[in-house]
Amino acid sequence: MLQRMLKAPGPASMGRAEVDAYQAAVAHSARVRKLRIWLPIGAVVISAIFISVSVIRAYLPENLSVESARIEDGKIVMERPAIAGRNDDGISYSMTAVRALQDIANPNMITLEDVKAAVPLNVNTIARVVATEGIFDRGTDRMELTAPFDVNLSNGTTAKFQSAQLDVVAGTLNTDDPVSIDTEQASIVAQSLKITDKGRTITFAGQVRVNIEAAAIRNRGS
Amino acid sequence: QATTSQMDGMRLSNDEPIQIESDQLEIKEQEKKAYFTGNVKVVQGTTTMRAGKMTVLYTGEGASMTGGNADIEKIYLDNKVLLNSGTQQATADKGEFDMPSQTFILTGDQVVLSEGPNVFKGCKLTVYMETGEARLDACGGRVEILLDPKSRQQQ
């Protein structure tokens, strides 16, 4: 009803001032009517944006940085991806690769080429992994190393693997293929290895051979 | 009543590495223990020792078996211990190496020490690794000594 009146110059009996005031009131209520519609819509839109940003933030690990990315035959090819984060004990872990291929159909699985990873096994031991190829499952933070690779522990121990499954966050590593570990005073060779309990329990199985250098005994003997 | 003999092979030679073989090795870094289980065989120089299970206790602050800076403190041997050293052989149920005191003790219902043809039976064999001297105790019972007649003529 008011719209109709809006067009009309105002009731004939009203003076000029009254007409202006009246039209201002009508315009205001029109504005309020508009706002009553747009304000809620605006609120919804803004919160939607906010939610989507945080969802993406959750999926795309914020600690993943990529130099450049392009799509090539159904795969996202990332150059120099680097991922970092903290494990349960708050010790930082990091992983970089020369190239990463992420299947668009299954975005959690990332194939990494020429990987370098620093995995905290426990408070005072960090394992540095250098591997030619690895498949990283972002959903479980687990890495499947399919090609032979080396692990250098910060306590001077070096380990040579044929393959392994590495849980970056939990700090566990196991392999069913031969492994050899060398320290200054001893060397251990076995058919399989499991490092669990954040590096505190190391289990070798299958034809275990341990060689302890004479030096290790000498300081004990004298 | 005990009998002593010389087990030179058991003298801890400090210049020879030790090789250990087993089916499994589990290292518990926090407890500073390494459990060798299944067909355990330890070889150093001419001495070979076999057991079903061997537990190594090591010490050293922050020492870790894989870190290499571990000092062996004690070694326990279980499930039948067989010790071969030169012409001497000893069998027992259990064995214990105590590194600080440099002694190696074999115990069991029947500890059998044989030197060539001669066989001695007792229940505890103590070997002092610095000198290689071995002492077989009968713990109450009598040490059974079976001297091979031929060996007596040689002495």
* Position B68 pLDDT exceeds 60: no
**Nearest residue, CB atoms, A156 vs list B18, B20, B68:** B68
For A167-210, write each residue's pLDDT tens digit.
Answer: 867 778 889 999 998 987 789 999 999 988 877 888 999 999 99
- This model of the complex carries an ipTM of 0.80
Whether A200 sits inside 8 A of B30 (CB atoms) is: yes
Q: Hey, of A173, A184, A210, which one would you mutate to test binding to chain B, going by the most B CBs within 10 A of its CB? A: A210
* Residue B6 Cα to chain centre, angstroms: 14
Determine, for residues B68 and A185 on separate chains, whether the beta-carbon distance falls below 8 Å. yes
pTM of the model: 0.70
**What residue ranges do the domains of chain A occupy?**
17-60, 72-212
B129 Cα distance to chain centroid: 10
For chain B, the average pLDDT equals: 82
Q: What letter represents residue B6's amino acid? A: Q
For domain A72-212, give its CATH number from 3.90.226.10, 2.60.40.10, 3.10.20.30, 2.60.450.10: 2.60.450.10
- Residues A189, A205: contact at Cβ < 8 Å? no
Query: Do A55 and A72 form a contact (C-beta atoms < 8 A)?
Result: no
Q: What's residue B127's pLDDT?
A: 87
Residue type, A39: L
> Quick one: tokens of A211?
């060689």
What percentage of chain B reaches a pLDDT higher than 70?
77
Q: Name the β-bridge partners of B130.
A: none
Cβ neighbours, 10 Å, residue B61: 5
Residues 6+ apart with CB under 8 A from B48: B41, B42, B83, B84, B85
Chain A hits for B75, CB-CB cut-off 8 Å, are: none
Give the pLDDT band of residue A58 (cuts 50, 70, 90): very low
User: What's the rounded Cα separation, in Å, for the pair B94 and B126?
Assistant: 12
**In the prediction, which pLDDT does A192 show?**
95
pLDDT of residue B99 exceeding 60, the answer is yes
Residue A78: which residues within 8 A CB-CB, separation 6 or more?
A66, A67, A68, A69, A99, A100, A101, A102
Predicted pLDDT of residue A83: 80
